[in-house]
Amino acid sequence: MDIGTAAQWGSLFVAALALIYTVASARSRVSQDQLAKKASADDVAVMHTRLEVLATRLDGVEDRVTRAEGELEHMPDRDTTHRLEMAIARLEGRMETMDERLKPIAEISRRLQDMVMENKLK
């Protein structure tokens, strides 16, 4: 078998494959078209109803996300929270110091009250 004959057989084989592919593609397109035509108006109405429900739910979710974003904008970030924690710790230290400083004053006040009560009784 020479090259010319082999080329003829090869081109015949390729042409046969192309014909088979074309027929199969045309049949699948026809099948798809037939299936699309079979879709009833009820199916289309149900799909529209579902789409409307989904659109409504999506609008609700968008509103909720927008509100959440608005609330989060006012919340302190990590650095601000850390600074607040440090300021509260300093205030606690100052309160403990003030408590210690007020103890002698409270004791003086108690003694003065006792003295006033003793003078009233005499």
Residues 59-100: tens digit of each pLDDT: 999 999 999 988 888 888 889 999 999 999 999 999 999 999
Please check whether residues 105 and 115 belong to one and the same domain.
yes
> Looking at residues 22-50, what average pLDDT do you find?
70
Please check whether residues 33 and 45 belong to one and the same domain.
no
Please check whether residues 89 and 120 belong to one and the same domain.
yes
- pLDDT value of residue 47: 81
Domain that holds residue 18: 1-38
> What's the total number of domains in the chain?
3
Q: Which of 32-36, 58-62, 103-107 has the lowest mean pLDDT?
A: 32-36
Backbone angles phi, psi at 40, to 5 degrees: -85, 165
pTM of the model: 0.39
Contacts for 10-15 with beta carbons within 8 Å, 24 or more apart?
none
Please check whether residues 92 and 105 belong to one and the same domain.
yes
Per-residue pLDDT for 32 more than 80? no
Please check whether residues 29 and 66 belong to one and the same domain.
no
